Amino acid sequence: MDPGTTLEEAANNLAQMVIADITFDKPPPYPEDFYSIVSKTSFFAILPLEYRYPTDGSKDTQGKTIYRLA
């Protein structure tokens, strides 16, 4: 948070966050990596989901890796 940012302002920013689970037709060049872009007012992040036994939720029905986007 920037100096002077109130807790209410920070909570409002988080309330506007979008989270999605996505797949790519063409995977990223380094599919196991965490990608992020950070600025003073926002951020973008994408990372592969990795679920383990007993249910493998890290792939979709076509076998594509699922990524979390925020």
Domain ranges of the chain: 19-69
Share of the chain above pLDDT 70, in %: 74
Q: The pTM is what? A: 0.64
DSSP 3-state of 21: strand
Structure confidence at residue 60 (pLDDT): 80
Q: Residues 42-60: what's their mean pLDDT?
A: 73
How many residues are listed for the chain in this entry?
70
C-beta of residue 57 within 8 angstroms of C-beta of residue 6: no
Residue 30 has pLDDT above 70, yes or no: yes
Taking 60 as the threshold, does the pLDDT of residue 64 lie above it? yes
pLDDT above 60 (res 68): yes
Q: What is the mean pLDDT of the chain?
A: 77
Q: Is 47 exposed, middle or buried (0-12, 13-18, 19+ CB in 10 A)?
A: middle
Query: Which helix (H) or strand (E) segment is 11 a member of?
Result: helix 7-15
Strands in 13-60 per DSSP E? 20-22, 35-38, 43-48
